[in-house]
A and B are shown apart, each in its own frame.
Chain A
Amino acid sequence: DAGVTQSPTHLIKTRGQHVTLRCSPISGHKSVSWYQQVLGQGPQFIFQYYEKEERGRGNFPDRFSARQFPNYSSELNVNALLLGDSALYLCASSVRQGPYEQYFGPGTRLTVT
């Protein structure tokens, strides 16, 4: 079975630009979560979506938004990029919302110059 997939793999953007990252969950998984990992730190929770609704949000500014589609894939959008947004963005899927095992994709490495 295919695991969680993310695109693109790498991305370079300029300050002030907008970026969209994409994630496809494992088949049969209905919950998708997004995490940001900066160098030297553990991943930090950004959002969780379940059945196309936002079910949780971490401590991130409104420049970060996301959505989930009917096929359970998801997009993470970041507006007005800052240098500090440079990070590895990880997507995770689980069978359903709540404390269930999460499986992570390979990530998108975003560099903001």
Chain B
Amino acid sequence: GIQVEQSPPDLILQEGANSTLRCNFSDSVNNLQWFHQNPWGQLINLFYIPSGTKQNGRLSATTVATERYSLLYISSSQTTDSGVYFCAGGGSNYKLTFGKGTLLTVNP
């Protein structure tokens, strides 16, 4: 099955800083999603991005499907951005395979 590797595993920032999270996958994917998991465990959809670039406010994401990676950019980070960020990839089948996540801490 697909393997998903996320980096870095941990990231500490000062408020206002920018960051880039990376997701590598071992095989072609037809589905690539980025999530933010809040402290209560809810997975919040950030992007559905099997290819191309999308932006939503201070967040943007780029997936280069031919090179099997995706990047999540967070600009002007805020303390509320803290939490775990997951990427998950799916092939032509039915399931999402998650990475181990990046724990982001934004300090005031």
* B-binding residues in A (CB < 8 A): 31, 33, 35, 37, 41-45, 48, 50, 55-56, 58, 88, 90, 92, 97-107, 109
Whether the pair B45, A101 counts as a contact (CB closer than 8 A) is: yes
Whether the pair B98, A99 counts as a contact (CB closer than 8 A) is: no
Chain A interface main SS type: strand
Q: Taking CB as reference atom, which chain A residue is nearest B98?
A: A42
- Determine the chain A residues whose CB is within 8 A of the CB of B100 once the complex forms: 41-42
Min CB distance A97 to B, Å, is 6
List which B44-92 residues lie within 8 A (CB) of chain A: 45, 48, 50, 86, 88, 90-92
A35 to B35, CA, bound (A): 14
Q: Count the A-B residue pairs with Cβ separation under 8 angstroms: how many?
A: 67
Given A41-B100, A43-B96, A101-B48; 4 other pairs, CB 8 A cutoff: A43-B88, A90-B43, A98-B93, A99-B31
* A-binding residues in B (CB < 8 A): 4, 29-31, 33, 35, 40-43, 45, 48, 50, 86, 88, 90-101
- Determine the chain B residues whose CB is within 8 A of the CB of A102 once the complex forms: 33, 96
Min CB distance A47 to B, Å, is 9
Q: Taking CB as reference atom, which chain A residue is nearest B30?
A: A99
A-B contact pairs, 21 of them (CB 8 A): A37-B41, A42-B4, A42-B98, A42-B101, A48-B94, A56-B95, A58-B95, A88-B41, A92-B96, A97-B94, A98-B94, A99-B31, A99-B50, A99-B90, A104-B42, A104-B43, A104-B45, A105-B42, A106-B40, A106-B41, A109-B41
